[in-house]
């Protein structure tokens, strides 16, 4: 960051968990995963600036708003925190969806709205519940998980597990 440079951020909390929402402009890549890789190489100074003291703290998370992977998605997000860049964040997803509705990026009508959010680990199907036009809650279906190995033994100081 140089003199006169400004970053605009919106701070959200999900049950006390912080998420700083930032639009740093275009990032290279064809997917959110590609943009995460680009951000890791080019925006680590911004990550430290936003997440470390005195502007951040040990529990600070940031979400860099990016385009979705394709025309079916509503928005994308590259998550970062004090130690680096992550592939997903539950409380950050809730904050980003709330932010997108609060700022008018996502139009709302009725008492709920579906929002498709692309994160580096995949597409999240979210539903925001609205009360009097404001977000009351957000739920989401995480990316599928799967078992890659079974029957493994791990050595620990207390013996094998």
Instruction: Give me the helices (H) in 11-161, please.
Output: 32-42, 44-51, 90-102
Instruction: Confirm whether 51 is a catalytic residue.
Output: no
Phi and psi, residue 125, nearest 5°: -95, 115
Query: Considering 19, 51, 62, 89, which one is annotated as catalytic?
Result: 89
Instruction: Give me the helices (H) in 52-145, please.
Output: 90-102
**Across the chain, where does the E strand assignment appear?**
9-14, 17-22, 61-66, 75-81, 84-86, 112-119, 122-131, 134-141, 155-156, 159-160
Instruction: Write out the catalytic residue numbers.
Output: 89
């Amino acid at each position: 960051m140089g003199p006169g440079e400004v970053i605009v951020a919106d701070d959200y909390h999900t049950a006390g968990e912080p998420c700083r929402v930032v639009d740093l402009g275009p990032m290279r890549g064809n997917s959110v995963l590609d943009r995460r890789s680009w951000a890791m190489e080019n925006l680590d100074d911004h990550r430290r600036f936003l997440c470390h003291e005195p502007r951040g703290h040990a529990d600070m998370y940031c979400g860099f708003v990016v385009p979705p992977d394709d025309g079916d998605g509503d928005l994308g997000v590259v998550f970062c925190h004090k130690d680096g860049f992550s592939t997903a964040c539950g409380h950050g997803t809730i904050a980003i969806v709330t932010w997108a509705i609060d700022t008018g990026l996502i139009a709302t009508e009725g008492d709920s709205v579906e929002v498709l959010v692309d994160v580096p680990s995949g597409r999240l199907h979210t539903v925001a519940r609205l009360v009097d036009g404001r977000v009351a809650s957000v739920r989401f279906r995480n990316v599928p998980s799967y078992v890659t190995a079974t029957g493994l033994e791990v050595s620990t100081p207390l013996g094998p597990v």
